[in-house]
Amino acid sequence: MPLFRREGKPLPLFELIMIHLLYLLALLLCVAPLIPGLLGVVLPAASWLPPLGLNTPSAVAWQQLLSWPGLGESIALSLFTGLGSTLLALLFTFFILRRYWDTPQWRRLENTLSPMLALPHVAFAIGFALLFAPTGWFFRLLAASGLNTDNAINVVQDPYGIGLLIVLAIKETPFLLLMSIGVLQQLQVKRLLAVSTSLGCTHHESWHKVILPLWLPKMRLPLLAVAAYGLSVVDIALFLGPQRPSTFAIQVWHWFNEPDLQLLPRAAAGALLLLAITLSVLLGLRGLEWLLVRGTRAWQLNGPTASTYCGLGSTKHGWMQRMMRGITVQALHRRCTRH
């Protein structure tokens, strides 16, 4: 089937060539400005920096990076806060959609997405710190009410990055909700729910077995963007993240701001390592998506549980009913994927 059509007919070859050339030109305009910056990181990471007398490529920068104490803890904090906040935001988004989609409450919630997205990340982080710091308003109210706050959990610059994880998850949830609107409208959720409900599935089962496997692949790019931001965030981590050790993105940022230019190769190597970690996490999320969508296909197609199918799952006819439900759900998946 031709990729481009006009009124059901394939486009002429010349127009197809021009469309592809314009696409490549737009891609080049987006990528070209990144090339000098990438070279400005790759060359110092190879210890090739002639202004500093480094004229021979070597692995000195990587040796300095790997010998830095606290490297493992810093990377672990970045993975915990970045990946944890991404998965938590994904759960928040799915649970909100499952509960409020196509309801009067959802329409009110949809109207608040734009103001929430317009709120800067740093402003939200400062407000969170003023509210939940040990001397913040929340604990002051608790102390004024007579409660003991001496042993209260500190989520601002805590050593485990819990506060940073929570703030990132809360701040990215409106973005994922906004991206989900077009996806769910394209999937025609109301029709899918009607069909799955007629097969005996509950509302939650319909969302888990029918909507989720169709919604998650279409949310791939927004989810990867959220994960990349969570792993490389600097501004929010400066206010809420742990400090000693800090997240790896913060540490690389500190290295780039060192006045001693002899440390620049180590900073460049750290930036490349952060890029490699981010790409690895994105590949891992892609594998997790496959596991949730493809690896659980048997569970998706087995229909509703026996306790929720109104007593129709008898031994005598249960195999036929499960087969028919599986065929119907699989047909729904294929039809929605094709469209």
Per-residue pLDDT tens for 49-86? 877 777 788 888 899 899 999 899 999 999 999 999 99
- The label of the residue with tokens 């002639």 reads 50
**DSSP 8-state symbol, 9:** E
319 domain-assigned: yes
Q: How far is CA 264 from the centre of its chain?
A: 30
Write down the pLDDT at residue 189. Answer: 87
Write down the pLDDT at residue 330. Answer: 55
pTM (2 decimals)? 0.80
Write down the pLDDT at residue 316. Answer: 42
Tens digit of pLDDT at every position of the chain (339 positions): 445 555 556 667 777 888 889 999 999 998 888 888 888 888 888 888 877 777 788 888 899 899 999 899 999 999 999 999 999 999 999 999 999 998 889 989 998 998 899 989 899 999 998 888 888 888 888 878 877 777 777 888 888 999 999 999 999 999 999 999 999 999 888 888 888 888 777 888 889 888 988 999 999 999 999 999 999 999 899 989 898 889 999 999 999 998 888 888 999 999 999 999 999 999 999 999 888 887 776 666 665 554 444 333 334 444 445 554 555 555 555 555 555
Total structural domains within the chain: 1
Write down the pLDDT at residue 10. Answer: 65
Write down the pLDDT at residue 7. Answer: 54
- Kind and range of the H or E run holding 10: strand 9-10
CB 293 within 8 A of CB 217: yes
Write down the pLDDT at residue 47. Answer: 84
15 domain-assigned: no
CATH number of the domain encompassing residue 239: 1.10.3720.10
Those residues with Cβ within 8 angstroms of residue 249's Cβ, 6 or more apart along the chain or in another chain: 78, 231, 232, 233, 234, 237, 274
CA distance 289 to 128: 31
25 domain-assigned: no
Domain of residue 271 covers 70-338
End-to-end CA distance of the chain: 14
Q: Is 316 helix (H, G, I), strand (E, B) or coil?
A: helix
48 domain-assigned: no
7 domain-assigned: no
181 domain-assigned: yes
Q: HSE (CB half, 13 Å, CA atoms) of 47?
A: 11
59 domain-assigned: no
CB 91 within 8 A of CB 208: no
Q: How far is CA 144 from the centre of its chain?
A: 39
58 domain-assigned: no
Write down the pLDDT at residue 65. Answer: 92
Q: Output the DSSP codes for 271-282.
A: HHHHHHHHHHHH
pLDDT, tens digit (0-9, with 9 covering 90-100), for 11-53 = 677 778 888 899 999 999 988 888 888 888 888 888 888 777 7
Write down the pLDDT at residue 302. Answer: 66
